[in-house]
Structure 1
Amino acid sequence: MNEPGWQDPIMVTLGTFVFALPWLLPTTFGDPMEGDTTAWAFLLTGLATGLVAVAGIVLPGKWEAIVEFALGIWFMALPWVAKPSTEPTAATWAAVVVGGVMAVLSGVSAFSARGRRPKKE
């Protein structure tokens, strides 16, 4: 049986951080309760990342690393998808940096040679 990856607790922490960003950077975001698209996108992405990481701890497998990798790439693109702007803000930098860390950590686990079976000849 597979064991949980070393990156799973880190991904839970990053998901919690992303979820909390609208409240940690209140001047950058609008109020999520008033319908700010970017704040809601950060909240939902953080929640999804945390839930996938917890699921990876409970039911370990390569699937969760691949989903976390996709969430990291999504999070890096999120500021331009949710609310396109030409001027980078603190939220933009946070999304790019945290999304990059998420993609690298999960990508190492998802696409490393560990866990791949050698070809039978």
Structure 2
Amino acid sequence: MRVPTTGKECPYFYGDYHRGKHHEECRLLKKSNPPWELKYCISCPVPEITRANACPHMILSGAIKSSLFGLKKRVVVSAYCTKTLQDVENPYLGCSECHPIIDLFKEA
């Protein structure tokens, strides 16, 4: 669903606006502490990750983390591959088992 503040497609955002309702939630951060607010979607990396890597074996999990002095909060995302049963170091690229990375795109 499209996030109203950013205009990006996010598979975890849900908004119910039918017949005057105004219910919005992030299904990735549903049980996070502090509770989810729409302002976290502005800097959330999930839309970019899902646009860059659409691997069906990758599962994303997220949390809201505070900065050093707790002034700024942001969404931190980690990924896990269910095919190789390991944590994914870079969710934008994946685990490189399902979709091997060509040497041309690797950093030197």
> Under a length normalisation based on structure 1, what TM-score does the superposition of the two structures give?
0.28
> Under a length normalisation based on structure 2, what TM-score does the superposition of the two structures give?
0.30
Query: Larger relative CO (CA 8 A, sep 6+): 1 or 2?
Result: 1
